[in-house]
Structure 1
């Protein structure tokens, strides 16, 4: 092909492709010639319309002239801000309508053709997105961008193309970065509704997380601004967060350092437990401090939802129960200098055990972090799953979602209770087994460790020797020397050997 013929060849590009088989008449001054396969892939409306009736059977001359086999005309709505509809027109073999179509109204404004119609601009952007063309939003601030995005989403929704536009909208909003996140944080209620309108998972989730974190402390008039169909989601998530905080507080109050735990096989006694006295003092001191915070409503009932309290627990160290607090404690309960250091060191170990318990509450699922914005005084650990977004298909069991979430925490409580019951049963079993080993083989009903007087058969063998008085094990004695480590010396039962009675060892 010569250079002259190549230069004279018509161009094939958006919005009019030479091989396009669908002609879309938007107005008297704007039209598109696109591909039916592309439209059917990106729009449920066009897919149904194209499949409903076969394409026009074009003549050879019409095909050489690149005539379209489908024709759609846009019919505006009578409402000022409404979105019109596309109407398919029948074509003859020449690619023309068989009779005169209703003439399209020229898009004039004050006698001049208008190229600033926001709806027409949105249609051009939508069809461009089908061909991977990015919309040219006016970068005159967040308000202008959002206004254009809303119109784009409305036209996309009218032809069933929202799924293909959502990522473009998200990307456009994300480019606003900190300006967007600050706006969502300061006006979460408005952005929650806006995120639903533009169907942006990022924007909707960001606004929802901010609302969930401060829902319990928001004034009622602010809560009433949330749409009635969105409020149940926020309330359910806020209740789940509150239950999670309650469960974590229960775990903290019931926590014991691992090295304090014993098993019955170890035969623990007072000498063994005496080594843990400083840790028990630390546990007692911590629980007194924790109870005081609960009493003063500084935990989950605090105005900040417990943010400062849980943050202190996650930081540990000197964030709470500092060295100054211990000095005040020892002013009323004096101890040696070494003992003071040991108690404080044990508290440090206990604080490290507490940190993992509150890790989940410290997660920040918002783009704007507390380190960058000190005005965020609430927890942002909530999550909004994709199937919880309001524009997703809601199953028949949607009403049970809240109860399902609540039940999961109730099951957690039940599991904890079951573990405690099993531990108690195991401890009782070990105690019974231990008592059976210490009892006489031939004993039938004699309860241990009661001490009875010698029977008549034993008294006839000779005068009974005076029994030793029970005595408490001292700190310098070991449990292996005396009994079971319970603090009492229990004499062994009387034994007979070759007719001679053997009393307990001196």
Structure 2
């Protein structure tokens, strides 16, 4: 049986919606506070006979702004709605944002169809601002996550290009896929991002838990890279160190392997220069180019032109040169094995790096238990038999979570205001000191 649509929500003069108070209050903290019996209009018998069912009227009185990211709603008696006059400016999508969220209360799928992923990220953040204001993020988070994932490789390319923005979004909607993907690229490209002033400011804007997690994974990646570098610089391929089983080994046995030792010396000369010039773990790419080159072996590095430079300092016969170069190829294959065994070039992200290559390491394994919201979750002890949560309990749980997120948002806002005021006071003190 159809229930009466007893709430009218007015977003603009041409955007008026009829909803059910029970549905809005069940899914939104704000509506639960506004749609109380004390705030409801008492319909007379005459009004009921005339078919009037609206008991609550809510209007948007302020568009989203820096001070009020979600805009502002209030109860109204009668109102024609805001007239959105763009006057040639880029059109606002606030009506679409509100409409998508309100319809999601009725299990309508949220779609984000922008082709430019920068617009997708921007519009999603704006929609989440409204959802946080309404207190319904837990309800729509999963639908937004699904809508974003449908963009496939376009989304993964965007995450690789701006991981900080996407990691913030992943936090807000508790998306494991987005958060993990962004964390892999953030850690892999950390050296380069730290040197960019704009990126540095963005990194500082991340919650402390995320910054600590990023540092933790980055230190792990650096440790892994340096371990590989030690292996490469200390490796002795084949039986170089034990050319004979008869101990002690006589010098003539080592003398037979002199060209192998020269080839290894040439490799270490080349590799040592790369490390000194900070092409390894300290490089902007975390050593990606160097390790990739060594992983290709063959003529990918130390080609004829480089070998000839060594031969000018250590000249030998043409036959000896050919033998040495063959030994060097064997050494390169051995070093390639070390790189492959380390797993530092393995791709752990969803981005197709063969089609959309990146210039940093993507081998970071992000543990689900390290996700900030997973750490905060209360452990649940599931029972195979017994009572399960009912619908009302699930709704109440979602509302409590939305209320908690709303309170955290207010606390962050108060902290930002406090910090800004503190910075202004410090600036004033510095001016006074300079005057003295």
- Per the normalisation by structure 1, the TM-score is 0.53
Structure 1 residues 179 and 136: CA distance shift in structure 2, 3 A: closer
Indicate the residue corresponding to 2:168 in structure 1: 193
Q: Would you say 1:247 and 2:227 are equivalent positions?
A: yes
Give how far 1:317 is off: 0.9
Greater displacement, 215-224 / 288-297: 215-224
Aligned residues: 320
Instruction: Name the structure 2 match of 1:323.
Output: 304
Q: 1:169 to 1:395 in 2, by over 3 A?
A: closer
Distance in 1 separating the partners of 2:6 and 2:239: 79
Given the alignment, which residue of 85, 104, 122 partners 2:56?
104
Return the TM-score normalized by structure 2. Answer: 0.60
In the other structure, the counterpart of 2:324 is 343
CA distance in 2, matches of 1:25, 1:361: 60
Distance change (3 Å), C-alpha of 1:260 and 1:126? farther
Conserved 8 A contact 1:25-1:73: no
Secondary structure of residue in 1 paired with 2:320:
helix
1:85 and 2:67 correspond: no
Query: In the TM superposition, what are the counterparts of 1:2-401 in structure 2 within 5 Å?
Result: 27=8, 30-31=18-19, 74=25, 83-85=30-32, 103-105=55-57, 111=80, 116=95, 118-119=97-98, 121-128=100-107, 134-137=109-112, 139=114, 142=117, 145-146=120-121, 147=123, 151=127, 155=131, 158=135, 161=138, 165-166=141-142, 168-217=143-192, 218-219=194-195, 221=197, 222-226=199-203, 227-229=206-208, 230-262=210-242, 266-267=246-247, 269-270=249-250, 271-359=252-340, 360-369=343-352, 371-373=354-356, 376-394=358-376
8 Å CA contact retained: 1:73, 1:87: no
Deviation at residue 344 of structure 1 after TM alignment:
0.9
Q: Distance in 2 between matches of 1:329 and 1:73?
A: 77
Whole-angstrom CA distance in 1 between matches of 2:300 and 2:113: 48
Change (3 A) 1:357 1:153: farther
1:310 CA drift (Å) = 1.2
What are the Cα deviations for residues 50-69 of structure 1, in whole angstroms up to 9, with x where unaligned? xxxxxxxxxxxxxxxxxxxx
For CA contacts below 8 A with separation 6 or more, give which structure has more relative contact order.
Answer: 2
8 A contact 2:184–2:363 mirrored in 1 = yes
Rounded Cα–Cα distance in structure 1 between residues aligned with 2:278 and 2:157 = 29
Alpha carbons 1:76, 1:83 under 8 Å: kept: no
Contact 1:126 1:152 in 2 (8 A): no
**Contact 1:153–1:198 (8 Å) recurs in 2:** no
Distance of 2:224 and 2:258 partners within structure 1:
32
Q: Give, in angstroms, the shift of residue 341 of structure 1.
A: 1.4
Q: Deviations over 1:436-489 (max 9, x none)?
A: xxxxxxxxxxxxxxxxxxxxxxxxxxxxxxxxxxxxxxxxxxxxxxxxxxxxxx
Asked if the contact 2:24–2:105 (Cα under 8 Å) also holds between the matched residues in 1, the reply is: no
Distance 1:88 1:334, change over 3 A: same
Structure with the higher helix share, 1 or 2: 2
Cα 1:364–1:380, aligned 2, differ >3 Å: closer, same or farther?
A: same
1:307: how far off? 2.0
Structure ID, larger Rg: 1
Q: Any stretches of 5+ residues in structure 1 without a counterpart?
A: 1-9, 11-15, 34-70, 91-100, 397-506
Contact 2:138 2:173 (C-alpha < 8 Å) held by counterparts: no
Aligned counterpart, 2:390: none
On the 8 A contact 2:110/2:144 being kept in 1, the answer is no
Q: Is the 8 A contact 2:7 2:54 kept in 1?
A: no
Please, which runs of 5 or more residues in structure 2 have no aligned partner?
A: 10-16, 38-52, 62-78, 84-93, 379-436
* Alpha-carbon separation, structure 1, partners of 2:289 and 2:220: 20
> How far apart are the structure 2 equivalents of 1:274 and 1:244?
36
